Structure 1
Amino acid sequence: MVLGISIALILASLLMILLVLMHKGKGGGLSDMFGGGFSSNFGGSSVVERNLDRLTVITGVIWLVCIVALGLLLRP
């Protein structure tokens, strides 16, 4: 059970990193360094941004649940 939660935590962490980097930057961050011009032309839709926000929040909740579950299971 601990192994399954650990794998879910690793996958959620990687997905969280990817989703945060995909967000449209407010200027001068990592998103500008990784193609800010491309994302400003094609990622400006409010529906896309809203769905990306929802997916990021859901992934964050899954990540938090995995952290708490591992903390409770591995407690001495």
Structure 2
Amino acid sequence: MGPLNIILTVLLFLSGILTVILVLMHSGKGTGVSDMIASSLYNSGTGSGVLEKNLNRLTVITTTVFILCVVVMALTFPTGTLG
């Protein structure tokens, strides 16, 4: 297993765990963790929208990293090199 595969494996596990945590933090119908945090820090009308927007961005970023790691590992895992 080459250094590329080790780095990709670590990124895969970290992005997978972060994606699961971020998805669980999303609010379903106003009762999520993000609404609890937003209501304690800001007004519930202004804070929750900003927090949800940032939570959505982080979720998309970690999911994209996860998918890219899976695709690159599928192409390179036996040898650890591209091509």
Computing the radius of gyration from Cα coordinates, the structure with the larger value is 2
> What is the CA distance between 1:16 and its match in structure 2?
0.4
C-alpha change, 1:2 and 1:38, in structure 2 (3 Å) is closer
The question of 1:16 aligning with 2:19 is answered: yes
State the Cα deviation string for residues 5-57 of structure 1 (Å, max 9, x = none). Answer: 00100000000010000000138xxxxxxxx4765444451000000000000
User: What CA RMSD, in Å, does the superposition of the two structures yield over aligned residues?
Assistant: 2.3
One-letter code of the match for 2:57? R
Assess if the C-alpha contact under 8 Å between 2:34 and 2:51 holds in 1.
no
Gap runs ≥5 in structure 1: 28-35
Task: Report how many residues are paired.
Answer: 68
Aligned match for 2:28, one of 13, 25, 29: 25
- Rounded to whole Å, the distance in 2 between the matches of 1:66 and 1:2 is 9
Q: How does 1:1-76 map to 2 (within 5 A)?
A: 1-26=4-29, 36=31, 40-43=35-38, 45-74=48-77
Question: TM-score of the superposition, structure 1-length normalised?
Answer: 0.76
Task: Name the TM-score, length of structure 2 as normaliser.
Answer: 0.70
